[in-house]
Amino acid sequence: MDTTTTTDNADSTLTSTTTGNSTPWGEWMGSWKINPTQIDQEAERIDRQKAAFGGETISRLKDLNILILGVRGVGIETAKNLILTNVGSVTLVDDEVCTIADLGTNFYIKEGHVTVTEIKKRSIPLSPDTVSKPNKRPRTNTNEATNHTNSMDTTTTTDNADSTLTTTGNSTPWGEWMGSWKINPTQIDQEAERIDRQKAAFGGETISRLKDLNILILGVRGVGIETAKNLILTNVGSVTLVDNEVCTIADLGTNFYIKEGHVGVKTRAEACLEELRTLNPYCRVDIHSGPIQDLLTSANVLNTQRPLGVVVISQLLPKVELCSINETCRSRGIATCLAVTNGVTSSLFSDFGIQHEITDATGEPTQTLAVSQIEVLTDLPDMLQIEGVTNKGGGDGKKVNGKQRVVVVTVAKDNHGLEDGDVVALDDMRGVLESSGGGDGGKDNHGLEDGDVVALDDMRGVLESWNGKTVTVKRVAIASPTEAKLDTNDVAFKEALKLPTSVVLANFGKQYDFYKQKHEDEQSATDLKKKFQFRSITMFNRLALVLTDEDGSMEDFESYQAGGLLNQVRPSITQSYSSLRETLDCATPVPQMLRGEEWEEGKGIEIHLCIAAVLDFQEEEGHWPRIHNDEDAEKVLSICKKISKSRQDTEACWSQKVSWGFPSGEPRELDTKRILRYAKLFGTELTGFCAFLGGAIAQEVLKKSGKFTPLKQWIHHDEQILVCDDVTNTTPTFGSRYDYQISIMGKDFQNQMANQKVFLVGCGALGCEYLKGLALMGVATSPEGKITVTDMDRIEVSNLSRQFLFRQEDVSHPKSVRGALAVQKWNPNLNITAMEQKVGNDTEDIFTDDFWRKLDICWNALDNVMARQYTDSRCLFYSKPLLESGTLGTKCNHEIVLPYRTSTYNDGNENDSNETQIAMCTLRSFPYLPNHCIEFAKQSYFSDYFEFGPEQYETFRKDKATFFEQLESMDAGEQYRSLALIQSFLDMHQEAQSSSNGKMDVGLCVKTAYANLMGDYRTSILNLCHSADAMESSSGKKFWTGTKRRPKAIDWNCEEDKAQLMEYLYSTAGLYASVWGLECIRDRNDFTDLVLSLNLEQPEWNPPSQNVNLSDEDEEGGDSTDKAEKLKADLYSVDTLNLPPANPQDFEKDDDLNFHIDYLTIATNLRAWNYDIKASPRHTVKVTAGRIIPALATTTAMVCGLVNVEYCKLVLGLANTNGRDVFLNSNINLAAGSGNFTTFCPDPPINIETGLDQPKSFTSWDKIEIVNDKEELSVQALMKRVESTFGVKVSRIFASGNQEDKALYNAREEEKLHWEIDIDDTGKASVSSNDIYTAWPQIRMAVQMLSRLPPTSNQRKLFATQVDKVKLSLAKTKEAFMRDFEGKVSQAYYNTYLPKEEEDDKMKYFDKVFEARNYVVLDVDCYVMEGEEKKDITLPPIKYVYSS
C-alpha cells in the first residue's frame, strides 16, 4: 500500500519507540510542520511551476547552469525569468559601461550606475539584492531543541535522519546545523546572518513575531524615513509607505534618500521606495496611494495574509483624519504610534489599544538558579520570618496534619535576588530516599524579590511531576536580637549560612531565645514595658516556595537529594491605553518631558497645548502654520489661550502651576515665546530630532510583539536654546537643502557648519548614523571644512541589520571607505577623507599633533572602553570637545565632554572586564548550568587545543631556549599544561612521519580528534566517577548532592549517539587541519567515509592510579610539578629543526566556515550531555563564547539623533556663552517604558586634590606648561624648578601615563651615587649600604667569601672578579644617572624610553614621533614633609616645550 513516497531509509515498521526527534511515518505530510524550518521553502516557491513542468523536469532544471552574454534589455529579461524559474545557476557576461539609455530597458540599472567608476558594468547591478537572490534554504539550527532525552540528543538533526554512519544519496545523518560545510551561498540562511545581533537582543521568539508584523507609515519626511529605515533593518514582515506630497528641496535636509532629481517630480514615498527596499531583501516594502481606510481594514496587507499590526504617524494630519485613524486602529487591534517634530520640538505618543499584553516588561535576562538543597521545615520557630507564611511574617503558613510547614530552597548563590511574591518554575529536581548536605555558598546574589515567579525545571524522581510548575517565592529571614549585634559580614556568619536551614535556625534560635528570655526577665522586674528589639536579617541564598493545595504534596520535597533548577518567570502584564483624542483633550494634565526637571516644572503643557492648537488651526484655516509667518503664529497663540482657558477646572492639560510633576490647579501665564516659536517653525524639522524620534518610535512599534513596555503615553522634548530669533539671520531662505536649519538657527550657523573639521572615530552602527547626520547638516561642505573618518574593520553580513550605509555588495570592503562613498552620494559637496587606521598610542605618527590641533571636535563611534579612553585622553591634551555614545541592546547613553567645563570619560571607572567569573573547579568537574559548559569549552578545550597549544608549540619550535626561559614564569600547573600540549603536537608529527606517506594529513587530524573525544568525554568522566565513588566509600558520605551531578561517559559503540560524535570529529578535525595548514574535508559524506576507513575503536578504560582532585578549590592536582619535570627532560632533547609550523587559531565568531562556533557548540553540548544539562542552541553558544553585544538599529538611531542636537549647540558656541547647563547627557532604556528616558546636565570636572595649600586642586583638563626660554633645561634644573614652584620634594619624573618602572629621574637611583664598594689591602670587600645586595644579589656571597677565605686560596680570584664586575656596573649606573640628570630633558627622555634594538619597528616609530614633536609630557611623584611623615602631593602633568 505504497500510496506516498516516503523519505530515504524510512523504516516501514510502526514501532512506538522513537529515537531523538525521528518519527517512522508522515514525513511527507504538511499538517505537523508548524515551524518554518520544517517547511521546504524552495518547494513552496515553485509550486505553480511544478504543476506546469512536473517533478522530474523541475529536478532537471535545478541541475541546469546557464551563461547569458549581454545584459541589455533582452539579457536582463532573460536572466530574471530564468532565476524565477529556479534553474541551477545564471552567469552574466557584459563588460560594457552603463549608459543613460540602458535605463529604458534594463530595470535594475540606476542613474547612479552611469559613468560611476565604482560600479560601471551592466552585470554588476544584477546583485543578490535585486534579481539574482539566492533561493533561500533555511538553515536548520539544530541546537534549538532543548528537551531532555535519555539519548545524546544534543542537537536537532535533519528529519528522520538515521543515526548510523551510512549515507544515502545527498543526505547526511548528522551536522545539518553546522556552518562549516556550507560553502555554497544557497546553503546559508542569509536572513539569519543579517539579524544575528538583533536575535541576541530580542530572542528567537520575538524575532519570529516581528516577522509577522505589518506596519503602515504615514508621512515620509525626516521622521518617516528614519522610522522606515529602522523597521526594515529590524526585519519586520512588511512596511507600507503613504506620502503623496511631491519632494521639495528642503526635504534633502532630513530625508537621506531624496535626491535633487526627485524634487518636483516624485512623491516622497516614490523617491524613497527603491532605496528602502535595498536595505533588506527579506522585508516587503511598498507604497500605498489609495484610501488609508482600505489598508486599515485589509486582512491581507502586501499579500502577507495578515492585517496591519501598527500604524505610525510621522507628521500631523488633519484632526478629523488623525482621530479617525486612531479610532479605527483601536477597534481592530492595531497599535497607533505618533512621532512628530516641528522646529525644535519633538513629541512621541503610543496607543496599544484597550487591552495589550506585555509578555516581557524589561527584556532583562531571567535568572536560572541552581538548587543546592531543599528542606521541608515543620514547627516553625518564632524567629523565622517569611512574608505571609510565618507568624512573624504576617501569616500562618501551610499546615499539614495541624503542623505549620514550609519548603525552603537553598540556591547555589549567596544572594538569590528574588523578591517576596516572585514566581519560579521548578526544573531538574531529583527525588531519592533521604535529604543531606548544606548549600554551596556561591559567589553572587540571586537577585529575586518577594513575589517573583519561578518555574521548576530539571526535577527527577518523585519530583519530576513538578517540572514546569510555577510557584511564587518569598524571601527567608531570621529575627536577630538587636542587642546581639550580629555582624552579617563576618566570615563565621557566612560560613554558618552554608549549613542546612534547620541547623541555621537551631543555632541562631538559641541566640534569639536567650536574648528574648533576658528581655522578658528584665520586663518582669520593672513597670516600664518595652518591646523586644530585633532586626530582620535576610538569608539571601534561601527562598521559601509558596505552595497551594492544587500544586501537589509538600511531602514530595522530602525526597530531594540533588539537582534542580529554579527558572525565574516574568508573568504577563495586561495594560490599557487611552485614545489619541482622550490624551489630547482630557487625559494628560502634565505631559512628560524628556528632561526630568522640565517635566516636574510642567513645561510640557505648552507643547501639548500647541499640538491641540495647530490641529484646530488647520481645521479652521485649511492649512498648517507657515514658516516665520507672524499672522499664523498669533492665531495659534490665540487658540492656545482659548483651549487652556476652556479646560480650567478640569483634569485636562491647561496652563496651571506644577510642583514636582503634580498640578496645583492654580493658573499661570502661558509661555507665549515658546508657543510663537513653535508656530513659526512648525513646518521645519532638524535631522537630529528626526533620528531621535525615528529610533524611539520604531522601537515602540516592535513592542506590538509583547516584548518590552510601551510608553505611557506622551513624551515631549524641545531645545529652545537652538532658536535664533533674529529674522535677518534666519530669513529669507533661497531654496537650499539647508532651509530648515537656516530658518531655525541662522545663516551664520550654516556657514560655521560648512567650515567644521570633524574627526569621526569608528564607522560601525554609530558611525553610519553620525555620517548620515553630518552629510544632512552640511558639515564640512566648504573648502576649509573636513571630515576624517577612520575604521579598521571590514563589513560583515551581520553588520547589515544596523549599519544602514552598507549593502550586500559592500561585504568584505572597508567600512570607512564605503561609508564615506555612501554619504558623499547624498551630499556631493561633502569634504570627507576615509582612513583604515587604528587610533591609539601606535598611530601618533599618523594622527599627529598638527592633525589634532586643527580639529573642531572629536566624535567617538567606538565599541570598546580602551579606544574610548585613548581618544578622550587626546581631547583632554588638545582641549577639544568630545561627543561620546554607546548602546547595548535597547539601552543607550551619550555624554558631552566640554573642555574645562565637564568631567571626562576617563574620570569614570569604565572597563571591559565586567563579566561574572565562574570558579574553575565548577567548570572543570561540577558544572550544573549550560553556561558552565560553554565557558569550559571556550576556556579549556578550544583554548588548549587550538590557541594556547599551537602558540606554545610555535615558541618551542622557533626558539627552544627562549621557550624554557618563559616557562619558568608559569606556575606548576600552567607549566604542565604547556608541556603536555606541546608533546601532543610532537606526537602528531611523529605519527605523521611514521605513516605511509610520511606527511600530516586529515586522517591523522581525525585520529587526534578521536583521542580528544575519548579523553575529554569518556576517560576523564569515568576517572571522576571512580574517584568520587572511592571517596563515598571511605567517608560514608554521599558525594553527588546539591549542585554536583554525577556525569555519564559517552560510548562510541552506541549507534544512537553516533551523529553527535561525528559532529565533534568533523569540527575538531577541521580545526586541526587549519592548525597544520591542511585542506580540510567539508563534504560530510566524504568525511564519513574517511572516519569509517579509520576503523576507530573505543579504548578500554582502566581505573587511574591516582584519584582525581575532587576539592572545591581551583588548584590543579598535586603531581603537576613531577609531571612537568619529566616532560621538560623529554622536550630538552627534541630536535626542533625539522618540525612543521603550526597556525594558532585566532577565535572568530562570525566566520561560519572556520569551524570555531561549530566546534564550541558540539563541545559544549557533549559536555552538557555528560552532566545531564540542557543543550545550548548554536546561536546561544555564539553569543556567549563570542561575547556578542546585542545591537539594534532603533537604539543606535535614537541616541545618535540626540547627539546630533548637542553638536548643533557646540557649533552655535553655546559652550562658551551658556556653559554646560544647556547641554544634555542621557541614559535611556527603550525597553522599559516612559520612566527610563533619563537625561541630565553633564557633570562638572572632577576636582583632584593636590594636598597643597595652593593650588588646592586641579581637573583632568589642567596641565603645567613650561616653555623653554633660551637654553633647554636639564633634568636637574627641571626638578629644582618644580620643587621651588610648588614647595615639594620630587622623588620621580617620568613619561605621563607610563606604567613601566622607567624614569628620567628617580630618587632611588640618585641614592646610588653614595654607594661604595671597596676591597682593602687585605683583600676583604665591604659595601656602604645593604641596598647594594638588593640591587646585585650575587655580590653578597662574594663579600662573605672574601672575608672568610685565606689569602692563599685559589677561589679568592673568582669572588674578587665578581666584586669587580659589580663595582664596574655600579660605576656605569652612576655615570648613566649623571648623564641624564645633568643632561637635557629631551635627551634624557629619549635615552629612557627608546625601545630596545631588537624591536626595530618600535624604534623607528618612536624616532618618527619624537622627531616631530618639540615637547615631552611628564608626570611627577612628589611629597612634602609634615613632621616626620611624608605626605604625597599630586600635581597635573607637565608639558615641557624644549624648542620653538
* Residues catalogued as catalytic: 921
The answer, yes or no, to whether the previous bond of 1255 is cis (omega within 30 of 0) is: yes
- Measure the CA–CA gap between 932 and 1167, rounded to whole angstroms: 10
Contacts (Cβ under 8 Å, ≥6 apart) of 1269:
none
Classify the C-alpha dihedral 797-803-806-807 as positive or negative: positive
H/E segment holding residue 1423: strand 1415-1426
Half-sphere exposure for 1245 (CA within 13 Å, toward CB): 15
Cell (9 digits) for 923: 567548570
| Distance (Å, whole) CA 1391 – CA 1245 | 36
Number of continuous H segments (helices) and E segments (strands) in the chain: 47, 41
Nearest of 190, 135, 181 to residue 158 by alpha carbon: 181
In order, the DSSP letters of 379-433 are S--TTEE-TTTSTTTTS--EEETTEEEEEEEEESSS--EEEEEEEEEEEEEEE-S
DSSP sequence for 1355-1420: THHHHHHHHHHHHHHHHHHHHHHHHHHHSBHHHHHHHHHPPPTT-HHHHHHHHHHHHH-SEEEEEE
Angle at the Cα of 1154 from the Cα atoms of 1150 and 1156, rounded to 5 degrees: 75
User: Burial level of 738, CB count in 10 A (0-12/13-18/19+)?
Assistant: buried
**Cα–Cα distance, 137 to 42 (Å, whole number):** 7
**Separation of alpha carbons 562 and 543, rounded Å:** 17
Q: Are 1116 and 972 in contact (CB under 8 A)?
A: yes
Q: Residue 130: helix, strand or coil by DSSP? A: coil
Q: Judge whether 1175 and 146 are in contact, CB under 8 Å.
A: yes
What are the C-alpha distances in Å from 503 to residues 237, 474, 500, 509? 58, 20, 5, 9
Amino acid occupying residue 1139:
L
All 3 cell numbers of residue 973? Answer: 600547573
Closest by Cα among 718, 685, 703, 447 to 598: 718
Other CB atoms within 10 A of residue 1035 CB: 9
Cell numbers placing 827: 551630499
Torsion of CA 1229, 1234, 1236, 1242, to 10 degrees: 110
**Alpha-carbon torsion 150, 151, 152, 153, what sign?**
negative
To which residue does cell 586522517 refer? 1003
Does 523 sit behind a cis peptide bond, omega within 30 degrees of 0 on the bond before it? Answer: no
Q: 69: part of which helix (H) or strand (E)?
A: strand 65-69
Cα-Cα-Cα-Cα dihedral of 70, 71, 73, 75, to 10°?
Answer: 70
Cα angle: 739, vertex 741, 742; to 5 degrees: 65
Residue 331's contacts (CB-CB under 8 Å, 6 or more residues apart) are none
Which residues are CB-neighbours of 59 under 8 A, at least 6 positions away?
A: none
Cell numbers placing 729: 539671520
For 1285, other C-beta atoms within 10 Å of its C-beta total 11
How many whole angstroms separate alpha carbon 952 and alpha carbon 963? 8
